[in-house]
């Protein structure tokens, strides 16, 4: 079962986060390969593949949660990019971040919006 969770999770990670997700996993390999494996198996192998929500909705929820936490800029940037990868428009992402100003506060929403600005700049073709 673990092997199929890993395989399924790796497929989902590739589809959702692309290179950014693989970079996170690779950076864990030398310090804690178990955390890398858990990250692939549980969130991507078990949760993202559940039928209750589509991947776009899951990314919207993830962006909202990471924004509300307020101290997860690297992970937030990965998931802001992932939201775009799975079909969210720039406008939808901005609206999610704006919505978070109500529930997470202006500092969290501002920080998230600036992180999104960085993501958009990084995604622009050179």
DSSP string of 74-104? HHHHHHHHHHHHTT--HHHHHHHHHHHHHHT
Please check whether residue 13 is in contact with residue 40, taking contact to mean a CB–CB distance below 8 angstroms: yes
Residues 6+ apart with CB under 8 A from 109: 67, 97, 98, 100, 101
Residues 6+ apart with CB under 8 A from 44: 8, 9, 10, 12, 13, 16
CA 26 to chain centre: 16
* pTM for the full predicted model: 0.91
pLDDT tens by residue, the chain, 126 residues: 457 999 999 999 999 998 888 898 999 999 999 999 999 999 999 999 999 999 999 999 999 999 999 999 999 999 999 999 999 999 999 999 999 999 999 999 999 999 999 999 999 986
């Amino acid at each position: 079962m673990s092997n199929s969770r890993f395989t399924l999770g790796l497929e989902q990670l590739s589809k959702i986060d692309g290179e950014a997700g693989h970079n996170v996993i690779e950076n864990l390999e030398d310090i804690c390969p178990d955390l890398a494996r858990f990250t692939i198996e549980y969130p991507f192998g078990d949760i993202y593949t559940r039928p209750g929500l589509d991947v776009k909705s899951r990314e919207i929820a993830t962006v909202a949660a990471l924004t509300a936490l307020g101290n997860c800029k690297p992970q937030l940037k990965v998931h802001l990019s992932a939201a775009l990868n799975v079909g969210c428009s720039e406008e939808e992402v901005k609206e999610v971040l704006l919505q978070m100003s109500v529930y997470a506060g202006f500092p969290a929403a501002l920080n998230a919006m600036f992180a999104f600005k960085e993501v958009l700049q990084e995604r622009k073709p050179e």
